[in-house]
Amino acid sequence: MTILDGKATAASVKQSLKVEIETLAERFGRAPKLAAVLLGNDGASETYVGAKVRSCKEIGIESLLIRESENISEDELLLIVNQLNTDDTVDGILVQLPLPKHINEERITLAIAPIKDVDGFHPENLGRLVLGVESYTPATPLGIMMLLSQYKINTEGMHAVVIGRSAIVGTPMSLLLSRNSAPGNCTVTLAHSRTKNLKELTLQADLIIAALGKPEFLTADMVKNGAVVIDVGITRVEDSSSSKGYVIKGDVNFTEVSTKCSYITPVPGGVGAMTIAALMKNTVHAFIRRNTTADI
Ligand code: GUN
């Protein structure tokens, strides 16, 4: 069994980006810039955005963190997004999700200029992903593809079972794995909360992507010997024995499942680190597109 080291792979991706950014900054006279909007002070969102901003700094991307109260109105937030859309120095925009209940996530996602939508959540970018034309791929599925690629895992002909059909992870993941590319060329089953006999399906899977957000959901009895297992889960579970008061759990019971599979991602140090590296890659991509495409 090999552990897919997301932390080390992300560090190497970021190192290559750092070198590329130095050349780009020289060529275009400025560095790429990512703007992140964070509402309120949810602990998990703070952690994710903090890690994104730190990564930017490490590799030479400028970052602009806009913090607002969770009571901000939808119109005020739309105004901020519009200002970022028209700010020529900003290449990528992300609004950290989830948003407070009184704000319509779809309206905000639609308001972000597709060329700056480095999360790849805008319908235009998701549509382009379906068609297989240039777009920004949502960071988590892109990070997983980069990890499979780094370890030269040949997915051609594999039966992949993706558990979870979110617009951010499960759905784009199933599209990428079914593409005629490497990694790709899988036969994909997209399973979800209404799937019957999930275990029958996962037992046939050569590749399992667990992205349903239920701690330690995937157990050894659900996994075929030699399968590749990717754990997207990152749930805070209360634990009074930990100094933070919680521990981070994945969707896979690592102790059990790691004894059966060929490759597995740990949590933490697996998909999470790759997600941030993929966001950095999308931001550099946005910078290049904005500097080289005539119609923008
Ligand atoms: N919340 C959880 N994951 C993400 C992400 O990839 N992007 C944004 N903007 N919010 C998130």
* Domain residue ranges in the chain: 28-113, 139-273
**Could you tell me if the CB of 139 is within 6 A of ligand 1?**
yes
Question: What does pTM read for this prediction?
Answer: 0.97
Query: Which of 5, 14, 33, 52 is flagged as catalytic?
Result: 52
pLDDT band (50, 70, 90) for residue 293? confident
pLDDT of residue 211: 98
Separation of 139 CA from ligand 1 center, angstroms? Answer: 8
Query: Is 60 exceeded by the pLDDT of residue 296?
Result: no
Write the CB contacts of 268 (distance below 8 Å, at least 6 apart in sequence): 7, 234, 248
239 carries an active-site annotation:
no
Which fold, 28-113?
Rossmann fold (3.40.50)
The answer to whether the CB of 145 falls within 8 A of the CB of 173 is no
| Residue 244 one-letter amino acid | K
**Rounded average pLDDT over 197-219:** 98
Whole-number percent of the chain with pLDDT over 90: 98
Residues 191-210 as b/e (b if ≥16 CB within 10 A, e otherwise) read beeeeeebeebbeebbbbbb
| Model pLDDT for residues 74-89, shown as the tens digit of each residue | 999 999 999 999 999 9
Indicate the average pLDDT of the chain. Answer: 97
Q: Which of 184, 175, 120, 133 is nearest to 157 (CA)?
A: 184
| Model pLDDT for residues 90-116, shown as the tens digit of each residue | 999 999 999 999 999 999 999 999 999
pLDDT of residue 294: 55
For domain 139-273, which architecture applies?
A: 3-Layer(aba) Sandwich (3.40)
